Structure 1
Amino acid sequence: MNQSPPTDTPRATVPAPRLSWPKRLTCAFFVLTPVVLALAVPLYQRTTPELAGIPFFYWFQMAMAVAAASGCGITYFLAFRNEPEGMEAP
């Protein structure tokens, strides 16, 4: 078990993307809004209106799951759209 000592050669690091405050707030809005709405159960603790026979309680939760996924996608697009292609992790 003869291991060689680690070398201190510098690795090329990719700087983290800097987001402006308006972009950060926009991203936070798109991610947090559906999460907060889904956690506020008294807002949707009822059965009417129905959508295709599905009570409001269920279809609202499904809509918030789709909205949260869309918010994550929008956030990813806003945060990383200016990154060069082909960047490998160190």
Structure 2
Amino acid sequence: MTNHPAPTTGGTDPRWKLSPTKIVVALLLLAGIVVPLLVGTYAKVEPRLFGFPFFYWYQLLWVFIAAGLCFLSYVLLKREKDAFARDAARSERTEGGTR
């Protein structure tokens, strides 16, 4: 049996704090999930694109859109994490210099 340290939840851990970036990411990912489920919006044949009915090319388009939304979400969360790391390092230097 391996003893693992208990995960940090809440408190001062910024990963668990709700931020505007996390809300935007949630909305982006939610759109990528919900919009393709609205079958009534694309259950038609016209307009055709290169001979393909709307039903097919619209769904395929959402594959690429969803991949883009996932990548954008990753970039936004990484940027937030990097900003937190810079702020933490800066505060450590500031606190270390005053002691």
Is the structural similarity TM-score above 0.5?
yes
For this structure pair, what is the TM-score category when the shorter chain's length is used for normalisation?
A: 0.5 to 0.7
Partner of 1:30: 28
1:1-20 to 2 correspondences below 5 Å: 17=15, 20=18
In structure 1, C-alpha distance between the alignment counterparts of 2:63 and 2:37, rounded to whole Å:
11
Contact 1:46 1:56 in 2 (8 A): yes
Please, which runs of 5 or more residues in structure 2 have no aligned partner?
Answer: 86-99
| TM score, norm. by length of structure 1 | 0.66
In terms of fraction of residues, the more helix-rich structure is 2
| TM score, norm. by length of structure 2 | 0.61
In structure 1, C-alpha distance between the alignment counterparts of 2:38 and 2:3, rounded to whole Å:
53
Describe the superposition over 1:46-71 as per-residue Cα deviations: whole angstroms up to 9, x where unpaired.
01011111111011101111111111
**Structure of greater relative contact order (alpha carbons < 8 Å, 6+ residues apart):** 1
Describe the superposition over 1:64-86 as per-residue Cα deviations: whole angstroms up to 9, x where unpaired.
111111111111111113436xx
Please, which runs of 5 or more residues in structure 1 have no aligned partner?
Answer: 85-90
Partner of 1:21: 19
